Chains A and B, each alone.
Chain A
Amino acid sequence: MTPTVSLNTGHNRYWFVFGGMLLLVAMIVGTMIGPAGPTWWRIPLEFLDRLPFIRINSGVSEQDWNIVWLIRTPRVVLAAIVGSMLSISGASYQGVFRNPLVDPYLLGVAAGAGLGATLVFAFQRGATENWIVDPLPLAAFVGALAAVLVTYVVGTAFGTTQSTTTLILAGVAVTSLATSIQAFILQRNTDVVRQVYSWILGRLSSATWGDVRLVLPYVLLSTGVLFMHRRLLDVLRVGDDEASALGINVRRVRLIVVLAATLGTSAVVAVSGLIGFVGIIVPHAVRLLAGASYRRVLPLSVLLGAAFLVFADIPSRVLANPAETPIGVVTAFFGAPFFLYLLRTRNSST
C-alpha cells in the first residue's frame, strides 16, 4: 500500500471554500429555476438591486418578485437548512455509534414522525385548517422526539453493557411498533393513504418563511451542540473503552450528541417529511473527499448537505412539471450513482 497523505493542514481551507462556493451557487441557481416567475437571468440582478447602495433595473415585476421571494426563496433556504441538518445529524450518529450505515432516523425519528403525521391525517386534516397552529409539523415533531426518548430509556435501562447494540435494537423495536400502529391506522382510514405516502417521501413544495422561522432555532441549537462535540467524536473513534481511558465520559457524550441530533432532525422532519439518503450519503462523500476526521466532516457536511439538497430540489420542481416529484426520490436517484462513483474512484486511487 502507498502512504496516504493527510489533509490535516493547508488543504483544509480549500474544502471549506469549495463547500461555501458550492452552496452559494446552489442557492442562486435554486432561486433562478422554477415553473413560473420571471426570466431566470433577471433574478440575480433583482437580488442585487434589493441590496443597499446598489441600483440595477432588472425588469422584474412586483408580482414576479413575489413568486421569487415568497415561494422560491423560502423553499431554497429550507432545503439548505434541512440538507445541512440531516447531514450533520447523520455524521454525528455515525460517530457516536461507530457505524457507517447509521442514518439520523436510526433510533425511531422517522417512524415516530410518520406516526404523528398519520394521526393528524387520519383525524380529518380538513378540520384543522382554521387552527392557529398547524398540527401536522407539531405532531411529527412530538412523535419523533417521543420515539427516540422511548428508545433511549428502554435501550439504556435494559443494556447491561456499555455497548450500543442494545440501543440500536431498541430503536428497531420502537420503529416496528410505531410502524405497526401507523399501518393499523392507515388500514382503517384508507382515504388518507395517498397523503401519508406523499408526506413520507418528503417534500419542500409548501415551504414558507414561517417554516424557516419554525425550524431555525432548533437547527441552530442542535448544530451548535454537535459542533462543540466534533473533537470528542474523533476520540470516540478508538472505541468506548479507550475513549474512557483517555478521559471521556462516553455515555454522557453519546447522550448529548444523540439528543442534539434528534432534536434538529425531528424539527426538519416535521416541516419537510422524511427525506432519505441525505444523512448517509453526504457525510460519506465528505469523508471520501476530505478525510474522516470529524473536525472536517461536521462543518463540511453542513455546507455540502445544504448544497446537495438545494440542487436536488431543482429537478424535483421541474421534472414532472406541473406536478412535484418527491424530493426523496430525487436525492436517491441522483445521489446513489454519484456515491457509487465516489466509492469507485477513491478506492482505486488508494
Chain B
Amino acid sequence: METETRSNDETLLSCRSLTREYTRGADGWLSRVRSTDRPSVTALDGVSLAVDRGEVVGIAGPSGSGKSTLLHLLAGLDEPSDGTIELAGTDVTALSGRGRTRLRLDHVGVVFQRFYLLPSLSARGNVAVPLIQRGRSKRARRDRAESLLETVGLGDRAAHSPDELSGGEQQRVAIARALVTDPDVVLADEPTGELDSATGERVLELLTEVADDRAVVLASHDDRALRRADRVLHLRDGQIIDDG
C-alpha cells in the first residue's frame, strides 16, 4: 500500500515510492561477475511520506518491517533501488555518496540505538565530532558542545569519557551530537532500545523538545516513544499499512 505524500512549504523531508531491494550474495566480486539470477529481498516497497518542520513522526512496526532501512535511506546512508527522497529542498537520490555525506553534515542529525560514542573522546569531544568536519575552531566546538550538554542535562559531565557515563547519559550525549550542527531533520533509530523506562522517557522528552523548529523521525517499536509522535506510520513487510 502506497500512502499519499502530504507536501507543503513547511515540508522538510519527503520521499516518494521509496523501494529498497537487497540482492543476496551480491557484494562479492565473484558474484558481481557472474550473471546468474540471485534471489532478492524487498526491505522497503513503495513508501511515501512527508515530514513538516516541527513535526514528530513515528515509524512503528515489528522487527524486519523496514523501519531502520527507511531511516537509513532518509539519512542518505543507503541508496534506494527506486523512488525519490527530498531533504531540505535537495533531491537526495540525485547526489553522489560525497554529496549525501555533505547533506547529512549540514541538515541531518542521527541518533542510534547503540549510541556509537567514540571511547577516546570525552562527552564534550563526542558532541563536537561533527563540528571538526565543519572546520570549526577548537573554542567554537567547545562552547557549542558544552551549551548542548547543558541543554541535555549533562553540563557537569562534559569531561567524562563514555565509559564513565550511564546508558541514558550516553544516549543524551548522542542526542546532543545529533543537534550540534543545528540540523533541519533528526532521525532516531530505536533511541530508547537499550534504556530503562525512566531514562527512556527523559530521552524521548528531549527528542520531542527539539522538534520545535525541525522535523523528527522516530523509528521504534516502543509504544511510549510512539505516543509522543504527532503521527505514526505503521510498517509491515516494507510497506506502510497505516498512516495515522
Do the two chains belong together in a single complex? Answer: no
Hey, which bits of chain B sit against chain A, CB under 8 A?
none
